[in-house]
Amino acid sequence: MTLENVIWTEVPEREEAGSPNVIGVVALYAAIEKLTQLGMANVARHEQALTGYALTRLGEVPGLRVLGPQTTDARVGVMSFVLAGVSHTLVAAILSYEFGIGVRAGCFCAHPGMAHLLGVSPEDMASLAQQIMQHEKFGVPGATRASLALYNSTADVDSLVDALKAIASGRYRGKYSLDRATNEYTPAGWEPKFETFFSI
């Protein structure tokens, strides 16, 4: 949580070691082979061009502020941003449930760095740590993060920007309810329809 302390998750998650990621090793090998074929210089050029495009397009969203450097020579294709007047976790939920866009929300296991970028004082961080220890994450500041990579295109950036413009103007369909313990939103009445994707 800060440079001085950490807040562990509750049991049983805290004690779970997990299984060795054998599938991940195989996938990593395949990814390295593909990247070698493409050439890392080509991959870097693609990411830099896409990052520049994204920075320009995200600047069109009313009330949106991209955190960190605003030029491609000082960053990679990871865009953390805040949208004025809308919780970062609500932005993430709407992007996911209504637009099919996968992002992360929160402090990304980098609380001190995010506190700096968001302008959260050490005193407020101490207060937030106490709040989190009471199992109350509501109101904990954070950002939404979209990541760009080799498999993304300008069309993906355009879809993200269109969705963010809709959210900024309040044009989304769902009614979202907040879980104050986790600070996460889900649309009211929503349940996953696994049969749409899986069948046995």
- As annotated, the active-site residues are 109
Residue 32 near residue 8, CB atoms below 8 Å: no
- Rounded to whole angstroms, the Cα distance separating 91 from 71 reads 24
Q: Any idea what DSSP says for residue 120?
A: -
- Rounded to whole angstroms, the Cα distance separating 10 from 185 reads 21
Residue 182 near residue 132, CB atoms below 8 Å: no
Q: Taking the CA of residue 150 as centre, how many other CA atoms within 13 Å lie in the half-sphere pointing to its CB?
A: 13
Element (H, E) at 55: helix 40-58
- Rounded to whole angstroms, the Cα distance separating 139 from 89 reads 10
- Rounded to whole angstroms, the Cα distance separating 166 from 158 reads 12
Q: Taking the CA of residue 69 as centre, how many other CA atoms within 13 Å lie in the half-sphere pointing to its CB?
A: 10
